[in-house]
Amino acid sequence: MEKSTAKKNKIRLFKPGTSFKIFGVVLAVLSLYWAAINQTQASLNRILSSFPILYRMLVEDFFPPDFSYLPRVVSQLVETFNIALLSTTLAAFLAFPMLFFSSSTVNRNPLSYSGIRLVMTVVRSIPNIIMVVLMVALVGLGPVSGIIALTVYSAAILIKLTSESVETIDKRPIQAIKAMGGNTLQTIAYGVVPQIFPVYLSHILYVLEVNLKASVVLGFVGAGGIGQLIRRQMSLFRYDRLGLIIFVLFLAISTIDYISQTLRSKLV
């Protein structure tokens, strides 16, 4: 009797049949890794043998950095930060009115809701570097192309992140405002905005972090800033200057990330 009771009270870690599903998933993932290794011809020996080469490159070529090049690096870093800041600011103003139309909580029209979501999905699917190439073809080389490309992409990201937050807000204030005869604008202003504004500011700071790092890469294709400087020094094999650029970038991005994370933790 006790044995039968113990069997009934036995706690299962997985539901019946779940172990087989987990085994299937693990097998599928391992198969994908095996196919990727064969396709890319990756070799652990080649990876391990490259570490001494990387060490010699860092010690002999990157060190000591050319600190006489520091003023030029700082000026280009400021330009990169300005690109990220301007694009994030413009994207924040552009995305704010649009995010309400991409949320089913506010926008009850299925046609406009689906249309805006589709457009934002298409924009997000285009890599930043491709968008900058298109902007360079339209407006030419320089920071303006980077600002336009990052503004469009960042607006789509902000709409995506914040519209999902709108979906999960407390519906009771909205219902109370509608019950008192409030129109759509009043419902948004008094029922939705107070709930999502701190989250929206947090998302803006996050996008600023992303844009700062992205603007460095986009400089390689003509968007200006410190990325263009990195490309030039690489073509000249000036690794002492490249080492200085990487060191300054590390300090700047780490500082901005720390400040942004601190502010976001207080907002949310």
Task: Specify if 171 maps to a domain.
Answer: yes
* CA separation for the pair 230, 143 (Å, rounded): 15
Query: Domain span at residue 240?
Result: 67-267
Predicted TM-score of the model (pTM): 0.72
pLDDT, tens digit (0-9, with 9 covering 90-100), for 164-203: 777 777 777 777 877 777 776 777 777 777 777 788 888 8
**Hey, what amino acid is at 255?**
T
Res. 15 pLDDT band, cuts 50 70 90: low
Residue 261 is predicted with a pLDDT of: 77
Residue 220 is predicted with a pLDDT of: 76
On the question of pLDDT at 95 being above 80, the answer is yes
* CA separation for the pair 2, 120 (Å, rounded): 62
Residue 69 is predicted with a pLDDT of: 80
Residue 10 is predicted with a pLDDT of: 56
* CA separation for the pair 156, 78 (Å, rounded): 25
Task: Specify if 42 maps to a domain.
Answer: no
- CATH number, position 102: 1.10.3720.10
What's the whole-number mean pLDDT along residues 130-159?
81
Q: Which residues contact 73 (CB under 8 A, 6 or more apart)?
A: 226, 229, 241, 244, 245, 248
* CA separation for the pair 215, 266 (Å, rounded): 27
What's the whole-number mean pLDDT along residues 218-226?
75
Residue 5 is predicted with a pLDDT of: 52
Number of residues that make up the chain: 268
Residue 51 is predicted with a pLDDT of: 79
Res. 59 pLDDT band, cuts 50 70 90: confident
Q: Which residues contact 233 (CB under 8 A, 6 or more apart)?
A: 239, 241, 242, 245
* CA separation for the pair 135, 133 (Å, rounded): 5
Residues 130 and 145 sit within 8 Å (Cβ to Cβ):
no
Task: Specify if 36 maps to a domain.
Answer: no
| Percent of the residues in the chain that have a pLDDT greater than 70, as a whole number | 89
pLDDT, tens digit (0-9, with 9 covering 90-100), for 72-84: 888 888 888 888 8
* CA separation for the pair 151, 77 (Å, rounded): 19
pLDDT, tens digit (0-9, with 9 covering 90-100), for 228-268: 888 888 888 888 888 888 888 888 888 887 887 787 777 66
Task: Specify if 177 maps to a domain.
Answer: yes
Task: Specify if 218 maps to a domain.
Answer: yes
What's the whole-number mean pLDDT along residues 53-58?
77
Domain total of the chain: 1
Q: In the chain, where does DSSP find H-type helix?
A: 2-8, 18-40, 44-56, 70-101, 110-125, 128-139, 143-167, 172-179, 184-187, 193-218, 226-235, 239-267
Handedness of CA 192, 198, 199, 202 (dihedral sign): positive
What's the whole-number mean pLDDT along residues 86-103?
83
What's the whole-number mean pLDDT along residues 121-144?
78
Task: Specify if 48 maps to a domain.
Answer: no
Task: Specify if 52 maps to a domain.
Answer: no
Task: Specify if 77 maps to a domain.
Answer: yes
